[in-house]
Amino acid sequence: MKILKWIGIIVGALLITLVVTATVLFLISKQHENETYQIDVAAVDYTFDDEAEMLSLGQHVATIRGCVECHGGDLGGDIFLEDPIVGVLVATNLTSGTGGLGSTYSDEDLIRAIRHGVRKDGKSVIFMPSHEYNVIDAKDLAALIGYIRSMDPVDSSHLPETKIGVPFRLMYVLSGGDIHLFPARIIDHTLPTPEPVEARSPMELGAYVATTCIGCHGNNYGGGTIPGVPPNWPDAANITMGGTLANYASAEDFIHTMRTGVTPLGVEMIPEFMPWPVFGSMTDEELSGLFVYLQSLPPRETGSR
Q: Which is nearer to ligand HEC, 22 or 214 (CB)?
A: 214
Question: Is 41:116 a contact under the CB 8 Å cutoff?
Answer: yes
29-33: long-range contacts (C-beta < 8 A, 24 or more apart)? 29/164, 29/169, 29/170, 29/172, 29/173, 29/181, 30/169, 32/124, 32/181, 32/182, 32/185, 33/123, 33/124, 33/126, 33/164, 33/182
Site for ligand HEC in 4-63 (CB under 6 A): none
**Is there binding between residue 281 and ligand HEC (CB under 6 A)?**
no
191, 43, 59, 183: which is closest to 106 by C-alpha? 43
Alpha-carbon gap, residue 212 to 69, rounded angstroms: 12
**Is there binding between residue 128 and ligand HEC (CB under 6 A)?**
yes
Q: Rule CB under 6 A: choose which of 87, 97, 215, 242 binds ligand HEC.
A: 215
Q: Which is nearer to ligand HEC, 48 or 80 (CB)?
A: 80
Q: Which residues, 6 or more positions from 236, have their beta carbon under 8 angstroms from its beta carbon?
A: 216, 217, 218, 223, 224, 225, 226, 274
Only segment of 20-28, 30-38, 51-59, 259-267 that touches ligand HEC (CB under 6 A) = 259-267
28, 25, 37: which is closest to 124 by C-alpha? 37
**Is there binding between residue 208 and ligand HEC (CB under 6 A)?**
no
Only segment of 3-11, 14-22, 67-75, 164-172 that touches ligand HEC (CB under 6 A) = 67-75
Q: Which is nearer to ligand HEC, 29 or 263 (CB)?
A: 263
Question: Is 171:100 a contact under the CB 8 Å cutoff?
Answer: no
User: For the chain, what's the residue count?
Assistant: 305
Q: Which is nearer to ligand HEC, 173 or 207 (CB)?
A: 207
**Is there binding between residue 236 and ligand HEC (CB under 6 A)?**
yes
Q: Name the site residues for ligand HEC (rule: CB under 6 A).
A: 65-67, 69-71, 80, 89, 91-92, 94, 101, 110, 113-114, 119-120, 125-129, 133, 144, 162, 212-213, 215-217, 234, 236-237, 239, 244, 247, 257, 263-264, 267, 269-270, 273-275, 279, 290
